[in-house]
Amino acid sequence: MAKLGKRTTAAREALAGKMNVSIAEGVSLVKANATAKFDETVEIALALGVDPRHADQMVRGVVGLPNGTGKTVRVAVFARGPKADEATAAGADIVGAEDLMETVLSGKIEFDRCIATPDMMPVVGRLGKVLGPRNLMPNPKVGTVTMDVATAVANAKGGEVQFKVEKGGVVHAGVGKASFSEEKLVENVQSMIDAVQKAKPAGSKGTYMKKVVISSTMGPGITLNVEL
């Protein structure tokens, strides 16, 4: 068996007997074990009792974290005319139409969120195979297909997080940075859990939230005891 590194050994010792803890204690442990030389992202993973292969068990949604994510979000907007100008004024990083489509098709994807006006969806639809797997495809259900592009851009820049259950029934998301105060991280974690709970699909049977784990980028996972 490979010898454990000092960081891993110390983390295990710190977490001994401390599983299924409250959100507040979990956040405290995550911060204490975020010892990398960069500002680690605090992440959450929610294991759900759903099978996303069935349409009535798909879980997806959007949540505005009260304290933001600590991440700079690059936003692209597909729009023309006045709506393109509105997007630019709102702070969108990239704005375009067919020209932006060609850029994406060439493999150049320099954005983290994609927004489109409804009239642009025939153009954006051609990018489904490129944007879909990256969870970047605009969708009216999460507010990224809209005529109110200014608000959509502001929300994306301000800490709004989109989530979608993966094949294994798990939702992953970043909920802040290790440099955030414990209070801010607790608020963000609670908001994320609440949003996923509200997104419970009609087809979900039995236990919906099976396990909730938080961690930092390089730190160990902490299992939370939340009311499910």
| CA 24 – CA 182 distance, rounded (Å) | 7
Dihedral in degrees, nearest 10, Cα atoms 66, 185, 170, 215? 160
Q: How confident is the model at residue 17 (pLDDT cuts 50, 70, 90)?
A: very low
The mean per-residue pLDDT over the stretch 205-216 comes to: 93
Chain segment 175-184, per-residue pLDDT in tens: 999 999 999 9
- pLDDT value for 187: 97
Q: How confident is the model at residue 37 (pLDDT cuts 50, 70, 90)?
A: very high
Q: Where are the domains positioned within the chain? A: 18-69+161-223, 75-158
| pTM greater than 0.85 | no
Residue type at position 185: L
Better pLDDT: 152 or 226: 152
Asked if residues 60 and 164 have their Cβ atoms less than 8 Å apart, the reply is yes
pLDDT surpassing 60 at residue 11? no
| CA 163 – CA 175 distance, rounded (Å) | 11
118-127, long-range: CB within 8 Å, 24+ apart, which pairs? 118/145, 118/146, 118/147, 119/80, 120/78, 120/79, 120/80, 121/145, 123/78, 123/97, 123/98, 124/78, 126/101, 127/101
Burial (CB count <10 Å: 0-12, 13-18, 19+), residue 10: middle
Q: Please tell me the number of Cα atoms within 13 Å of 159 on its side-chain side.
A: 17
DSSP 27-51: HHHHHHT--SSS-PEEEEEEEES--
Q: How confident is the model at residue 1 (pLDDT cuts 50, 70, 90)?
A: very low
pLDDT surpassing 80 at residue 16? no
Burial (CB count <10 Å: 0-12, 13-18, 19+), residue 66: exposed
CA distance readout (Å), 148 to 79, 82, 136 = 11, 11, 18
Domain 75-158 has CATH 3.30.70.260: no
Asked if residues 102 and 131 have their Cβ atoms less than 8 Å apart, the reply is no
pLDDT surpassing 70 at residue 77? yes
Asked if residues 30 and 37 have their Cβ atoms less than 8 Å apart, the reply is no
Q: How confident is the model at residue 25 (pLDDT cuts 50, 70, 90)?
A: very high
The fold of the 18-69+161-223 domain, in CATH, is Ribulose 1,5 Bisphosphate Carboxylase/Oxygenase (3.30.190)
Better pLDDT: 49 or 12: 49
- pLDDT value for 205: 86
- pLDDT value for 20: 86
H-type alpha helices, 68-181: 81-89, 98-105, 121-124, 128-131, 149-157
The mean per-residue pLDDT over the stretch 35-48 comes to: 96
SS3 (DSSP) at 60: strand
Asked if residues 42 and 214 have their Cβ atoms less than 8 Å apart, the reply is yes
